[in-house]
Amino acid sequence: MNPLLASHYREILVGIGENPEREGLLDTPKRAAKAMQYLCNGYTLSLEEVTNGALFECQSDEMVIVSDIELYSLCEHHMLPFIGKVHVAYLPTGRVLGLSKVARVVDMFARRLQIQENLTRQIAEAIEQITGAAGVAVVIEAKHMCMMMRGVEKQNSVMTSSVMLGVFRDSSTTRQEFLQLIGRR
């Protein structure tokens, strides 16, 4: 736990009119600092560490899809959560990535202050880089607490973002197959 970060959280409590010496808040600055460090631990990771060499030879060049990967991230504008799911597809060219590593790549970038549009691109480019795939597609659907808890307070809004690289960008047939397989049109 970073003591400087904890002291900043203590000042935030004072700034909103709370008493950080109140029994229920005594350890809150430390807990909040520890939570923020965890929620932003993606800054300390590299793509090589996260994938840990889990690339395997494969003769298939057919679409690989990992869908409905849980997503938890923090909006860089308000530092409020956005929560949703990620669908990732790629067309292998001789190598496939270990299944859990796809989810770890998602988490590495999600555990940084983000906007959803950049997160979508970062995931796609990382999968392309690590696998050398002929194409990569990523779709994220998320609810943003900055839309739900403050501002316009729209409870049912869902943001969808997509990035299509390589064959997914060039071939409408391939792109359509992916979207149909994840249940989107």
Rg (Cα) of the chain, in Å, rounded?
19
Q: How many helices (H) and strands (E) does the chain have?
A: 8, 7
For residues 54-68, one letter each, b for 16 or more C-beta atoms within 10 angstroms of the residue's C-beta and e for the rest, the string is ebeeeeeeebbebee
Active site residues: 75-78, 116, 144, 146
Check whether 58 is labelled as a binding-site residue.
no
**Cα atoms in the Cβ-side hemisphere of radius 13 Å centred on 63:** 22
C-alpha distances in Å from residue 144, one per residue of 33, 39, 118: 22, 16, 15
Cα 178–Cα 184–Cα 185 angle in degrees, nearest 5: 90
- Who's near 78: CB < 8 A, 6+ residues apart? 145, 146, 150
Does residue 131 contact residue 96 with C-beta atoms inside 8 Å?
Answer: yes
Question: 75 with 114: CB under 8 angstroms?
Answer: yes
Q: Is 8 annotated as a binding residue?
A: no
Residue ranges for the known binding site for Zn(2+) are 75, 78, 146
Residue ranges for the known binding site are 75, 78, 146
